């Protein structure tokens, strides 16, 4: 058994007791709504061992004392970053983008050309692949979108991922499974030291912001399109249902909400969000409200 005060520099993982794990799990749930299964101790150790090494801590007892102290607020945020999952890729779940292009964008293009305000929200944008895919889809159908009041808000709880997203630089192998046409729609033709840069026209449409679903929302909508995919699967049922209801409240009267293919909106919200395509929903009620976060 590895002793909690083992030398981490030697590559030995620190021991995480069940009590310590439950403490971390409770903090993560309270801060983000994310629920860790009882068998996730190895995941927590793997994600946090690097932080302990960097700080010179030999065990989780000292680390927990830090993150629960006023002086450890910054490290608490870094702990949350380390424990949040950020699996994503360009044009993930492509059926959503096909539905957006064929069934949603034609109306929104007309709305924009008639002087209307059009807003998209990538609510759990991770390292940016989703909002950039969204921007590429918009510009393919609406090349002069930048001349109109069309914007994308991209938010996430992980500050490190947001920095990566805003930089718009990806490994040259990013999107290698895409068609040449989709790669051309996303990336600037020039390559720099093995990196692929997002086209400036796409970046110009997007505003990146930090946001935690569990805190008061800095947005009130209305949004014409909301993408929140594969974020709620890590939450308990009650938190999921509250999240869907919160999205419904900021959705335009004719807006569309896209969720992950493994996620479901419960029957308690079926009168407020109607299924119109696989994991795509629309709100039948009419409610218009101003936005409090300029995008």
Annotation: binding site for S-adenosyl-L-methionine: 86, 88, 92, 130, 156, 229-230
Burial grade of 187 (CB within 10 A; 0-12, 13-18, 19 or more): buried
* pLDDT value, residue 110: 98
pLDDT attached to residue 286 = 44
Q: Check: CB of residue 230 under 8 Å from CB of residue 247.
A: no
Domain 94-282 has CATH 3.40.50.150: yes
Q: What is the pTM of this model?
A: 0.86
pLDDT of residue 206: 99
For the domain 8-83, what is the CATH code? 1.10.155.10
Residue 222 and residue 286: Cα distance in Å, rounded? Answer: 11
Question: pLDDT for 121-138, tens place per residue?
Answer: 999 999 999 999 999 999
Q: What is the pLDDT of residue 75?
A: 92
User: What's residue 11's pLDDT?
Assistant: 54
Looking at the DSSP assignment, which residues form a beta bridge with residue 274?
282
The pLDDT, as a whole number, for residue 9 is 44
Under-50 pLDDT residues of the chain: 1-10, 286-292
For residue 4, the model assigns a pLDDT of 34
In the chain, CATH 3.40.50.150 sits at 94-282
Which positions are catalytic? 47, 156
- What pLDDT is recorded for position 224? 98
pLDDT at 285: 52
């Amino acid at each position: 058994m590895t002793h909690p005060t083992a030398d981490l520099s030697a590559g030995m993982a620190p021991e995480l007791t069940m009590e310590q794990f439950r403490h971390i799990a409770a903090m993560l749930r309270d801060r983000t709504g994310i629920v860790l299964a009882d068998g996730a101790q190895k995941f927590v150790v793997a994600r946090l061992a690097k932080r302990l090494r960097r700080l010179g801590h030999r065990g989780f007892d000292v680390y927990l004392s830090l993150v629960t102290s006023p002086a450890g607020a910054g490290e608490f945020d870094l702990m949350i970053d380390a424990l949040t999952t950020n699996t994503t890729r360009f044009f993930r779940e492509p059926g959503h983008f096909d539905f957006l292009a064929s069934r949603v964008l034609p109306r929104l293009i007309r709305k924009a050309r008639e002087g209307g305000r059009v807003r998209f929200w990538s609510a759990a944008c991770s390292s940016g692949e989703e909002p950039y895919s969204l921007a590429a889809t918009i510009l393919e159908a609406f090349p002069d979108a930048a001349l109109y009041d069309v914007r994308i808000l991209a938010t996430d709880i992980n500050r490190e991922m947001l920095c990566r997203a805003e930089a718009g630089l990806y490994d040259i192998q990013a999107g290698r499974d895409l068609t040449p046409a989709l790669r051309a729609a996303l990336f600037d033709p020039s390559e720099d030291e093995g990196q692929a840069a997002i086209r400036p026209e796409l970046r110009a449409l997007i505003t990146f912001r930090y946001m935690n679903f569990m805190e008061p929302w800095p947005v009130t909508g209305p949004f014409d399109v909301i993408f929140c995919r594969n974020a709620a699967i890590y939450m308990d049922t009650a938190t999921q249902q509250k999240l869907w209801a919160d999205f419904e409240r900021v959705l335009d009267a004719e807006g569309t909400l896209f969720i992950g293919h493994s996620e479901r909106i419960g029957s308690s919200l079926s009168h407020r969000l109607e299924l119109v395509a696989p994991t795509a929903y629309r709100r039948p009620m009419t409610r218009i409200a101003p936005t409090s976060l300029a995008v």
